[in-house]
Amino acid sequence: ETGVTQSPTHLIKTRGQQVTLRCSSQSGHNTVSWYQQALGQGPQFIFQYYREEENGRGNFPPRFSGLQFPNYSSELNVNALELDDSALYLCASSLPGQGGQYFGPGTRLTVT
């Protein structure tokens, strides 16, 4: 059974740039959630995708957007990067109606 994978592991961007992060869900899981984890904090929910549609969104501005593909993989896009966007971005996969969300290793984004 393949776990959740994310790419890249690290990246550095400049304020104002755009970034795309990628996630492959655990085998058989068709629901993907994205979280932002600032240093020393718990993960904060950004949004969830199910059947290629956004299925819930947290308190994040529209410059945070996403996609889910037919193979259940997902992308998180962030436009107009701000310094406060520096964080660990986590992807979690799950099956609908079942509680367990399984996280990938995350992408560490640094905005300078």
Partner 1 sequence: GENVEQHPSTLSVQEGDSAVIKCTYSDSASNYFPWYKQELGKGPQLIIDIRSNVGEKKDQRIAVTLNKTAKHFSLHITETQPEDSAVYFCAARGAGTALIFGKGTTLSVSS
Find the shortest distance in angstroms from Cβ 16 to partner 1.
Answer: 28
Find the shortest distance in angstroms from Cβ 98 to partner 1.
Answer: 9
Compare residues 42 and 70 and give the one whose CB is closer to partner 1: 42
Compare residues 34 and 78 and give the one whose CB is closer to partner 1: 34
Compare residues 18 and 103 and give the one whose CB is closer to partner 1: 103
Q: Find out whether 77 and 18 touch, Cβ atoms under 8 Å.
A: yes
- Element of type H or E holding 102: strand 102-103
- At residue 64, what is the residue type? F
Rounded Cα–Cα distance for residues 98 and 25 (Å): 15
Find the shortest distance in angstroms from Cβ 87 to partner 1.
Answer: 13
DSSP lists the bridge partners of residue 65 as 77
Find the shortest distance in angstroms from Cβ 109 to partner 1.
Answer: 14
Residue 76 tokens read as 């998180």
Residues that bind partner 1 (CB under 8 A): 4, 33, 35, 40-45, 48, 55-56, 58, 90, 99-106
Q: Find out whether 73 and 22 touch, Cβ atoms under 8 Å.
A: yes
Compare residues 26 and 81 and give the one whose CB is closer to partner 1: 26
Rounded Cα–Cα distance for residues 7 and 21 (Å): 6
